[in-house]
Structure 1
């Protein structure tokens, strides 16, 4: 394997729970029920796809943009000083750099926001390529974002791992022909996820051990 491409929310940053909390607060304020279930359908998708999911559920007159801004205000208050990191992220990034892996990031979040969050925690320098969802027309679960990441990294998808937490992310990486590693965050693994993932790890420490093991096995075969 030559490269590892990470999702961001729920993999690098412990932020997906803050999005759910923000929508819960907004829903409580306006008497909107069921935001948790609807939000979970949006995990790993772009703004446009998430908007349509909300409109499909609540109706075309649902003021998504207005409520989204209220949720975002909650979110940014929560991360004002520091974006919470998932345990083990610095360690796995250090390991991958040391071992010469090319490292990419493929997030459905806008690239500008991705870079801002990476900068805030001093992680930008680890990544050779950063792809945001606003750079493509089709969102996860389509393979486009991972295909773009591999192309810019200069590797074939079959020579790259993708570390994901969401169903849509695993579907996207699998469709791209990569080797998906699922590290669940808010959504438990399903049978589909087990079929589409090369391994399911409880945390990033386990994901690092898996990559180390596979690398050593490959070296022995050479």
Structure 2
């Protein structure tokens, strides 16, 4: 029986992934590195200590991942300050139904705790969540299972009692690695053959989530 629903944040609850990928490419270009859209998508929910290794393999050791990352954060912070943060469609409607149904709700994100609280507060949805779990709270972030294993601990639920809601490959791998059920609500990309074997289902939007939970039969 599912007792807890564990939500990724960027690209799942809030519409920030499009800016993450956009500003990764802009920051890289400023430093003489040409990233493709696919390159920038690969960095979604990728813990920085592992993303830096991937970056060096992809672009060479002379490409300064950490400097580019700081510039990306600067560009994105400025944009969000000037334009605000958009919620994904049907967020509040879905969270309201899940709370009424008695599910424990948590956020499980690669974003640090300060920005997680800032983003969820500014969008007015932080009050729906019983727990906030950030990759900075564990040794290894996504795609490793640590952050979801920790989420299970702090919610007091077994992995098989948790449904993770994710939009990106690294988050899906993390949740499945921890033994959680996983549903994908695609943002920038859908499920490929590999991901299709890791998820319990793929939804068009969060609006379908309450019904999906009802149909799981566990």
- Using the size of structure 1 for normalisation, the TM-score is 0.90
Question: What is the 5 A alignment of 1:110-121?
Answer: 110-121=112-123
Task: Specify the alignment match of 2:137 in structure 1.
Answer: 135
Question: What is the 5 A alignment of 1:62-211?
Answer: 62-80=63-81, 81-211=83-213
**Alpha-carbon distance in structure 1 between the residues aligned to 2:92 and 2:38:** 31
- Report if aligned partners of 1:5, 1:163 keep a CA contact under 8 Å in 2: yes
- How many matched pairs? 216
**Where does the alignment leave 5 or more consecutive residues of structure 2 unmatched?**
none
- Report if aligned partners of 1:164, 1:181 keep a CA contact under 8 Å in 2: yes
For residue 35 of structure 1, report the CA deviation from its aligned partner.
4.4
- Report if aligned partners of 2:85, 2:123 keep a CA contact under 8 Å in 1: yes
- Report if aligned partners of 1:27, 1:35 keep a CA contact under 8 Å in 2: no
**Where does the alignment leave 5 or more consecutive residues of structure 1 unmatched?**
none
For residue 64 of structure 1, report the CA deviation from its aligned partner.
2.1
Tell me the C-alpha RMSD between the 2 structures: 1.7
**Alpha-carbon distance in structure 2 between the residues aligned to 1:110 and 1:35:** 26
> Structure 1 segments of 4 or more deviating over 4 A?
none
Task: Specify the alignment match of 1:46 in structure 2.
Answer: 47
- Once the two structures are overlaid, the 10-residue window that deviates more, 42-51 or 25-34, is 25-34
For residue 149 of structure 1, report the CA deviation from its aligned partner.
0.5
**Alpha-carbon distance in structure 2 between the residues aligned to 1:125 and 1:91:** 14
- Using the size of structure 2 for normalisation, the TM-score is 0.92
**Alpha-carbon distance in structure 2 between the residues aligned to 1:51 and 1:36:** 17
